[in-house]
Amino acid sequence: MATSTLPTADTATDTFPINGTDYIEFYVGNAKQASLYYRAAFGFQLVAYRGPETGVRDRASYLLQQGKIRFVLTSPIRADLSGEAAPPVPPVQVPAPSALVITASDAAAAGVRADASGPLVAERLARLGFVVERALVPDERARISAAIAEGAEEAVLNALFNARSVTTDPGRHGDTPFPLERLDELTEAATARARGARRRRS
């Protein structure tokens, strides 16, 4: 006569058994007010306190007990004073805006006369925090295009033209120097373009 063994059910096991708890901590907006509510409404007793008066500068905690139940009510005071706080993030260093001042003048490029407008514009841009580069080229389309192309990738261009008919700048006056009364207008325009370029890059 054959015999057989009845199968036994698998015994359920707890992979993370909890034998007991010391307390449950709640992080609240106002620990003092919450502790008063739990004591008045639910009959808890205040057992212990820690905070600035006991040398803990970053939080205030109230330990409440009722029988075997213990609650810790905690609210932050100064998170940056905590020993567990992460170090402050250093500010992002934004590079200074750059400007390329191009003066296109046959006479100035040939050394016949000095460039009167380029240095003034460059100086005013530098006062506004720009890193300024200058270029002095003849008033020829190819030379002007080459100077613009060379500085276009990194610099915000502020091109000044004050020579003959190759250029189309509305402020040119024949072979006379660039009008000084327009320097503020050009400086403001260059500043606005630089700020717009920085916003687009960010």
Buried-state track 112-149, b at ≥16 Cβ within 10 A, e below 16: eeebebbebbbebbeeeebebeebebbbbeebbeebbe
User: Tokens in use for 134?
Assistant: 């200058």
Listing DSSP states for 43-106 in one string gives --EEEEEESGGGT--SEEEEEEEETTEEEEEEEES-GGGSTTSPPPPPPP-PPPPEEEEEEE-H
Amino acid at 148: I
* H helix intervals, 21-93: 31-42
Single out the residue of 68, 67, 69, 35 nearest to residue 51, CA to CA.
35
Q: What is the pLDDT of residues 146-199, one digit of tens each?
A: 777 777 655 444 444 444 434 434 344 444 444 445 555 655 665 566 566 556
Measured from the Cβ of residue 95, the count of other Cβ atoms closer than 10 Å reads 8
Domains of the chain: 24-79 (3.10.180.10), 98-201 (3.40.50)
Q: Which one has a higher pLDDT value, 142 or 2? A: 142
Reported as type and span, the H/E element at residue 188 is helix 183-201
Q: What is the mean pLDDT of residues 20-37?
A: 92
Q: What is the pLDDT of residues 38-54, one digit of tens each?
A: 999 999 999 999 998 99
Task: Specify the pTM.
Answer: 0.38
